[in-house]
Amino acid sequence: MLEFFILTANIFTMLNKFRTHHKKILWALAVIIIPAFVLWGGLAYMKEKNQNVVAKVGGRSITVEDMRYYVTMAQLSFALLDIPEKEKKITKQDVIQTALDDILLLWKANKDRIKVSDSEVIASIKQIKFFLKDGKFEVESYRRLLRQMRMEPQIFEEYIRNFLKIEKLYKKYIRINPSESDVKKLYRKDTQKAKISYIFIPYDKLKEGIKIPENELEKFYQKNKSIFKEEPKIKIKYAVIVNDDKEKLALIRNNLNNLKVIDDLKDKFSIDVKETAFIGKKDPIEGLGWQPAINNIAFSLKLKKISPMLETSIGYIFLEKEEEKNAFTPDFAEVKNKVEETIKDNLAKEKAKVLAEKLASRIENENIKNIRKLAEQENCDFKDTDEFKYYDYIEGLGLNEKVSKIVFSLKKEQIYPYPLLLGKGAYIIQLKDISSIDEKDFIAKKDEYLARLKQSLELMQKLRLLSQIKKESNARF
């Protein structure tokens, strides 16, 4: 880990000199660079027995030294982007994820033999605004900036070459050409409002009175053991050092090599160390809440070995795994109540489905137009909602894009002909009202929505491409 702190100290010195000349670049670098290297050092520590290897792509091992190159490249790309002031909160996770993406993209670009000429690199550099004076490229600004960054011109130019390779790769595989109807669809989702009525058949009510014989419980358990399998669990100890405690942070940083177990923090620095009960990968950590990244790191640790110092939104954290349980299937006696509840849930859902289908059949056969009366006749729950938009929470149904898609495809007073089986029960819905599109407003905002749609489609295609490259390269991070 020492190399990371030496590295970050050198970079921090460079940034202090750099700050007075180019503040617009520094926001993207100064806040991120130290946490990024510290965290990546922690991940490298956990990934492989050979701590120098942090990833493998296309059969090639990515070392800590390689990763330093890609992290710097990611930071440089953020620094050179013209991001509006309000969007300047770039996190260490953004930097690390960009570095990992760049590894994949450059592997694919090289595999596809994508080339960037020296003249293309020079032309690109001459467009970077930090090297311009009165709109013209100034060689001295370029040289001064590189001196302050302690970066040789050929290294900086190689980074630019890589950016251009990635740009060419995206141009090769990404095609975006949304139609006006696609733009209007996005506008409609943002602005259109609807109200619905619905009949609700809750599963909980149908569970009442269900009795399951003992032999049926055990028979179900034997046939469906995988349902009741418990995930691996661990107990951890952790310590948090808040960002405001500068003196203690500095003292701990200077003594990292002396930390062998987490209780050293308590004994040597009077840091409070807490211990959890057994937790799974998706469980909240008592005192920390939902922290998926922390859970993953904790699971990756060796027993009784302290983690590197990890920066989070709540401060700097140290972890230690105390105990672990492998995945296992409990005996029937241990999960008997859970087996019973599972069977009751299944029976209740089946009952709700049958009842809802009968109601839907009546609506169709009797040409029913008012589902309120039908709900009263059948002694079912009925609800009218307030107005909501496509991506809004729907009262009583929750956030569900599948439901929104159905609702906004209906005509006023139309009843959806099929029951919806959702988390809490079965629903029959009727569209009571829907607003029309403001054509003048759409025309005025069309370009804005076109830009948003292009950005969204581009992001989706980039993610799809990255997923394909990861599979193709057999990448392992």
Ranges of each domain in the chain: 2-173, 193-213+334-434, 230-325
pLDDT at residue 13 is higher than 70: no
User: Is residue 130 very low, low, confident or very high in pLDDT (cuts 50, 70, 90)?
Assistant: confident
pLDDT at residue 102 is higher than 50: yes
User: Is residue 82 very low, low, confident or very high in pLDDT (cuts 50, 70, 90)?
Assistant: low
pLDDT at residue 21 is higher than 50: no
Q: What is the pLDDT of residues 181-210, one digit of tens each?
A: 999 999 999 999 999 999 999 999 999 889
Query: What mean pLDDT value characterizes the chain?
Result: 85
Q: Do 193-213+334-434 and 230-325 agree at the fold level? A: yes
Mean pLDDT of 317-339: 93
Burial class (CB in 10 A: 0-12, 13-18, 19+), 317: buried
Q: Specify the pLDDT at position 84.
A: 60
pLDDT at residue 112 is higher than 60: yes
**What's the CATH code, domain 2-173?**
1.10.4030.10
pLDDT at residue 374 is higher than 80: yes
The residue ranking higher by pLDDT, 320 or 95, is: 320
* Rg, C-alpha atoms of the chain: 29
- 272's enclosing H/E stretch is none
User: Is residue 103 very low, low, confident or very high in pLDDT (cuts 50, 70, 90)?
Assistant: very high
E strands, 326-452, in order: 381-384, 420-421, 425-434
Mean pLDDT of 345-361: 96
Q: Specify the pLDDT at position 95.
A: 86
User: Is residue 119 very low, low, confident or very high in pLDDT (cuts 50, 70, 90)?
Assistant: very high
How far apart are the C-alpha atoms of 356 and 415, rounded to whole Å?
13
Q: What is the pLDDT of residues 401-447, one digit of tens each?
A: 999 999 999 999 999 999 999 999 999 999 999 999 999 999 999 99
Identify the architecture of domain 230-325 in CATH: Roll (3.10)
**Token output for 107:** 């592997």
Q: Specify the pLDDT at position 40.
A: 38
Per CATH, is 193-213+334-434 categorized as 3.40.50? no
pLDDT at residue 379 is higher than 80: yes
pLDDT at residue 18 is higher than 50: no
> Do 211 and 299 form a contact (C-beta atoms < 8 A)?
no
Pairing of strands 425-434, 315-325: unpaired
Task: Name the nearest CA neighbour of 148 among 31, 19, 32.
Answer: 19
How far apart are the C-alpha atoms of 342 and 321, rounded to whole Å?
33
Mean pLDDT of 376-398: 94
How far apart are the C-alpha atoms of 50 and 64, rounded to whole Å?
11
Per-range mean pLDDT, top range of 5-9, 306-310, 354-358 = 354-358
Mean pLDDT of 31-53: 41
Q: Specify the pLDDT at position 85.
A: 53
pLDDT at residue 77 is higher than 50: yes
The residue ranking higher by pLDDT, 68 or 8, is: 68
Min mean pLDDT across 41-45, 164-168, 242-246 is at 41-45
- What is the residue type of 104? L
Torsions phi, psi of 228, nearest 5? -100, 10
User: Is residue 259 very low, low, confident or very high in pLDDT (cuts 50, 70, 90)?
Assistant: confident
pLDDT at residue 323 is higher than 60: yes
Neighbouring CB atoms inside 10 A of 372's CB total 13
Q: Specify the pLDDT at position 258.
A: 84
Q: Specify the pLDDT at position 450.
A: 96
Q: Specify the pLDDT at position 158.
A: 95
Mean pLDDT of 97-111: 95
Q: Specify the pLDDT at position 23.
A: 35
Q: DSSP letters of 148-184?
A: HHT--HHHHHHHHHHHHHHHHHHHHH------HHHHH
pLDDT at residue 471 is higher than 50: yes
- pLDDT above 90 coverage of the chain, percent: 61
Q: What is the pLDDT of residues 203-231, one digit of tens each?
A: 999 998 899 998 999 999 999 999 999 99
Q: Specify the pLDDT at position 3.
A: 32
Neighbouring CB atoms inside 10 A of 309's CB total 23
Q: Specify the pLDDT at position 43.
A: 43
